[in-house]
Amino acid sequence: MVTPSHLWLLGLSGSGKSTVGPLLAQKLAMPFVDTDERIVQATKNSIPEIFAQGGEKEFRKWESKIIAQLVQCPASVIACGGGVILDPQNRIALSRSGLRIYLQAELPILAQRLACSSDRPLLPADQIHPKLVEQLAARKEWYEESDIQIPIGSESPELICGKILASLPIP
């Protein structure tokens, strides 16, 4: 089996992609990239500012642009925004350029993790759980197309990283 170039970390907000990603990248001696950070760098605006100025449509446009750039880069561990899989072109790019790893967290755990977050425009503080339910309903089918699915509870990032490493195909 040919080792794919990228490891795409997918899942809802709060599932641990940006926390587990650097650990996984370190263990595999690969670069780590966070697509949200790349969007902020490219636009010179915070995620809430992008949403305030151009809405979700503008954010998704930048997200797709960053994905298109990343598929051309050297093998990396990449933490994707939770909604990256909403765009069919992104789903194709991810599936063709690496392994998709779905961090499958329970909604109550996500709601608890995100309770104090103020930088997620699609998850207003007073609507976190219902919005997560809505997002999961819209995205679950595509998350579940991932090559690897890692159910996570309240495990440490190190333990989740270990689960991912144990699930990777050995060339």
């309770």: which residue's tokens? 115
Give which of 68, 88, 76, 84 is closest to 3, Cα–Cα.
Answer: 76
Q: How high is the pLDDT of residue 120?
A: 62
* pLDDT tens readout for residues 80-133: 999 999 999 999 999 999 999 999 988 888 777 666 665 665 655 667 778 888
Q: For residue 124, give the 3-state DSSP assignment.
A: coil
Count CB atoms within 10 A of the CB of residue 131.
18
- Residue 66 CA to residue 116 CA, distance in Å, equals 28
Give domain limits for the chain: 6-167
Top-level class of domain 6-167: alpha beta
- Digit-coded pLDDT (tens) for 119-169: 665 655 667 778 888 888 999 999 999 999 999 988 899 999 999 999 998
Q: Give the N- to C-terminal CA distance of the chain in Å, as an integer.
A: 5
d(CA 46, CA 20): 22
Q: pTM of the full predicted structure?
A: 0.90
